[in-house]
Structure formats: C-alpha cells, structure tokens
C-alpha cells in the first residue's frame, strides 16, 4: 500500500512555478495596464523617437525600454499589448478546446457513423493551409478581436479533435469501460464519468499549448496587419514596426519578441507541469 511513488518530491515543480510566475506577472500587468503603464502607449513625440533602453547612453529617463520611431514608449506598448495577447489566449484557447475536445470525445468513444462524419471533417479541414485560411477568414469577417478568436477556433479545433479522439478510443478499449457498461451505465454517462477524467490531463496540455499558439497566431495576424485596429498596440504589430528600424533601434523589435517568446514558452511549460499534477498515477 505504501507506495514509494507518493514519497518522491517531483522536480517538475520548478518549471511549473517559473511559468506560473511569468504568466501571473503578465496577467496582473495586463489587468492593471492603464494604471501600471508608465506612459500612454499611443502618445507620440517625434522629438523622442528611437530613444534607447535605460542602460544605454542617450537614454531618456522614464522610457525604460526605449521608444519606437514615433517616440512611443516600448514598455507601455508591451504592457498594453499583453491585454490583447492574453485575452486571445484565454478565449480562443478555451473555445478551441471545448469544441475540439467535445467532437474528439464523441468520435473516439461513440465510433460508428459519428466517428466517420467527424473524422472525414477533420481530414478535409486539415487539407486547408492554416495561414492562408486564417487570412481569408479575417478578410471575410473583417479585422477585430472577435474575428481573430473565431479564426483561431475554426482553424485549430482539429488539433484537439484528433488527439482526444485517439485518446478516447484507447480509453474506450479498457476493461473498466466494459465494466461500467455491464453495470448499466449509458453511453453518454460512461463517456463523461469514465472516459473524460482520463483524457483530462491530455486536454490540459493541449489547452495550454493552444493558448501559446493563439498568442503566436494573433502576433502573426498583427504582423501582416490583419489583426485589430492599428491604434491598439499588439506585440505582433510592434514586431512588424520594429523590423523596419532594426538597424537603428533594435529594441523596438527585440523586447516584444522576447516577451512573446517567454509567454509561449511559459504556456507550454505550464501544460507539462500541470499534466504531472493532474495524472493520478504520477500525483
């Protein structure tokens, strides 16, 4: 009964905490952006264009990470950009997970014609090139936060559906499912009570990965100027603008890029860390 596994302190804790720390910081900053940001992210001052970050000679006090070519504060823009990034990550990630996982679960557990229909749909869906598909969608829907979220959900639900379908199929072949059915539990009941808890760890990992992907997609769409209105600062549009002045002011490009990188990395590490917590065998 007393099992050595329960005595081992798992080292997975570190990456879980580091990623939580970064995402927590980002979340707080995003929530409090109007009060925390040192400057108005949209205020231009052509006399203060391309000021370097604070540790370089010629830095302007108060502009910690420098300014872009229009004299806007890079730090403030990153902070305000976090709002869009996290909003997209949370809403698009959850919606994608909900739709994809539901379809995957139904296909994998019910099999038969349900599986046929959903699987063919996935096959067809995945034949579309995702970037072109999303650009097309935004062009049809018109730019805006809602369109981005819809585009991400429409493109990425297959990722969940495929993986969860396979997982549900594997779980469905287990004897405990047979036992539940013999005992008289209905199909949907078995699916929700017996299968769902066992695919949950996989779902959590996919969800956090998807949140990272959503952040990237939003950045890509901003980069090609198809995201929300150009007035609102987003990391993608900052990277796009920074690219033009990379030789004169590298910081305009590098800081949003690093923020984006850390955020996406944190999401994926959060998933791995949570999986270890969720898994009853590893717990």
Partner 1 sequence: MSFLSIRDLSVRLKGGPPLLRRVSLEVAAGEVRGLVGESGAGKSMIGKAVLGILPPSVAVTGGQILLDGTDLLALPPAERRRRIGALAALIPQDPLSALNPSHRIGPQITDRLVDILGWTRADAIARARALLDEVQIPDPGRVLRAYPHELSGGMRQRILIASAFAAAPKLIIADEPTTALDVTVQKQILRLIAGMQARHGTALLFVTHDLGVVSKVCQRLSVLYAGMVVEDTTVAAFFAAPRHPYSAALLAATPKYTDPSAGLNPVPDAVIAAIRAEVAAFDRAAKHG
Residues 6+ apart with CB under 8 A from 279: 201
Smallest separation (angstroms) from partner 1 to the CB of 181? 5
Smallest separation (angstroms) from partner 1 to the CB of 119? 14
Q: Does 117 bind partner 1 (CB under 8 A)?
A: no
For residue 233, CA distances in Å to 45, 70, 85 come to 16, 13, 10
Residues 6+ apart with CB under 8 A from 34: none
Among 112, 127, 132, 142, binds partner 1 (CB under 8 A): 112
Q: Does 175 bind partner 1 (CB under 8 A)?
A: yes
Q: Does 15 bind partner 1 (CB under 8 A)?
A: no
**Nearer of residues 61 and 280 to partner 1, judged by Cβ:** 280
Among 7, 8, 127, 182, binds partner 1 (CB under 8 A): 182
Among 14, 38, 40, 176, binds partner 1 (CB under 8 A): 176
Stretch that binds partner 1, among 13-21, 73-81, 90-98, 177-185 (CB under 8 A): 177-185
Q: Please provide the size of the chain in residues.
A: 283
Distance CA 172, CA 167 (A): 8
**Nearer of residues 6 and 11 to partner 1, judged by Cβ:** 6
In 3D, which of 26, 34, 39, 48 has the Cα closest to residue 235?
26
Tokens at 258, concatenated: 């690093």
Sign for the CA dihedral angle at 45, 48, 51, 55 comes to: negative
φ/ψ of 73, rounded to 5, equals -75, 120
Tell me, residue by residue from 242 to 271, as one string, x for binding to partner 1 by CB under 8 A and - for no binding.
------------------------------
Smallest separation (angstroms) from partner 1 to the CB of 266? 27
**Nearer of residues 132 and 183 to partner 1, judged by Cβ:** 183
Q: Does 197 bind partner 1 (CB under 8 A)?
A: yes
Among 14, 174, 188, 244, binds partner 1 (CB under 8 A): 174
Left, alpha or beta for 248 (phi > 0: left; psi -120 to 50: alpha)?
A: alpha
CA 34 to chain centre: 23
For residue 96, CA distances in Å to 93, 164, 206, 222 come to 5, 12, 10, 20
Among 94, 198, 245, 268, binds partner 1 (CB under 8 A): 198
**Nearer of residues 176 and 261 to partner 1, judged by Cβ:** 176
Applying CB under 8 A, the residues found at the interface with partner 1 are 1, 3, 5-6, 111-112, 174-176, 178-186, 193-194, 197-198, 200, 280-281
């Amino acid at each position: 009964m007393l099992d050595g596994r329960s005595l081992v302190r798992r080292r997975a804790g570190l990456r879980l905490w580091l990623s939580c720390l970064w995402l927590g910081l980002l979340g707080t900053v995003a929530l409090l952006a109007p009060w925390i940001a040192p400057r108005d992210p949209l205020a231009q001052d052509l006399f203060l264009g391309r000021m370097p970050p604070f540790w370089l000679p010629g830095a302007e006090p108060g502009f910690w990470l420098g300014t872009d070519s229009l004299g806007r504060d890079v730090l403030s823009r990153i902070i305000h950009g976090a709002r869009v990034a996290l909003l997209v990550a949370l809403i698009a990630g959850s919606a994608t997970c909900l739709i994809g996982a539901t379809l995957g679960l139904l296909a994998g557990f019910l099999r038969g014609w349900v599986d046929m229909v959903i699987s063919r749909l996935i096959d067809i869906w995945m034949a579309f090139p995702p970037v072109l598909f999303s650009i097309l969608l935004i062009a049809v829907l018109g730019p805006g936060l809602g369109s981005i979220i819809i585009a991400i959900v429409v493109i990425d639900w297959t990722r969940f559906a495929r993986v969860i379908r396979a997982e549900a199929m594997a779980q469905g072949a287990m004897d405990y499912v047979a036992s539940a059915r013999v005992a008289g539990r209905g199909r949907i009941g078995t699916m929700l009570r017996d299968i769902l808890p066992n695919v949950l760890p996989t779902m959590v990992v996919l969800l956090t990965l998807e949140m990272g992907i959503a952040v990237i997609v939003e950045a890509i769409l901003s980069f090609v100027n198809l995201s929300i209105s150009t007035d609102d600062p987003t990391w993608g549009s900052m990277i796009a603008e920074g690219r033009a002045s990379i030789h004169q002011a590298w910081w305009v490009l590098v800081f949003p890029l690093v923020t984006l990188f850390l955020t996406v990395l944190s999401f994926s590490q959060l998933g791995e860390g949570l999986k270890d917590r969720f898994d009853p065998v590893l717990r």
